[in-house]
């Protein structure tokens, strides 16, 4: 494998979007409160009947990578492709300095890992770690002090991945998706990495 990570422009987002982001859910982190929350929360992994989750197909069309430039000013964002020869095997996106992106918390020192994906038949081969490091270095090189990542309690592999990359779970929002019926039972987990 001769992996190369390239920064790309929005014109290559259709190629980026061809990389599947779906994954199999086999367990979830159930969130248990301790003393009505005063004692914090505990994540307890529980097995579930396996199913496939696909972030690109679960949402409206506007959430797909090729639609990001229509929804946001992405002129300062970083888009990255992981290439093995001519094959696109992974991608990552970092959002910065975009007023309409609530994830940025109106902070000028915070970057958001907006998306990271590795082709299913190339997962667990180090591509995700290299993309994550590249994205973090890109944000650090632009003066950002922290990288924020959102995932869900149904994406246990992603949670383990972010912890392995040195991220810390900074917030659990049990009702973060309550207004979105198809994912209302999922909990939002926010991870942070000091850069």
Strands 168-173 and 41-53: unpaired
| The pLDDT of residue 60 is above 60 | no
Instruction: Report DSSP state, residue 126.
Output: S
Domain holding 46, by residue range, is 3-194
CATH number at residue 101: 3.40.630.30
Q: Is the separation of the CB atoms in 71 and 97 below 8 Å?
A: no
Q: Summarize pLDDT for 26-53 with one digit per residue, the tens.
A: 999 999 999 999 999 999 999 999 999 9
| The pLDDT of residue 159 is above 70 | yes
Q: How many domains does the chain have?
A: 1
pTM of the model: 0.94
Q: Summarize pLDDT for 68-84 with one digit per residue, the tens.
A: 999 999 999 999 999 99
CA distance 150 to 98: 17
């Amino acid at each position: 494998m001769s992996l190369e990570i390239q920064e790309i422009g929005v014109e290559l987002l259709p190629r980026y979007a061809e990389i599947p982001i779906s994954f199999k859910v086999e367990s979830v982190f159930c969130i248990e409160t301790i003393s009505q929350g005063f004692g914090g929360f505990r994540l307890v992994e529980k097995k579930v009947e396996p199913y496939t989750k696909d972030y690109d197909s679960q949402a409206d069309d506007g959430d797909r990578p090729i639609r990001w430039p229509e929804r946001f000013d992405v002129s300062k964002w970083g888009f990255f492709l992981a290439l093995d020869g001519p094959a696109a095997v992974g991608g990552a996106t970092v959002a910065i300095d975009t007023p309409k992106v609530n994830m940025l918390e109106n902070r000028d020192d915070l970057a958001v890992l907006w998306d990271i994906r590795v082709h299913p038949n190339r997962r667990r081969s180090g591509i995700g770690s290299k993309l994550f490091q590249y994205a973090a270095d890109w944000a650090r090189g632009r003066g950002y002090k922290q990288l924020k990542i959102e995932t869900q309690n149904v994406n246990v592999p992603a949670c383990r991945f972010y912890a392995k990359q040195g991220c810390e779970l900074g917030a659990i929002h049990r009702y973060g998706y309550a207004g979105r019926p198809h994912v209302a039972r999922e909990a939002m987990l926010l991870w942070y990495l000091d850069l």
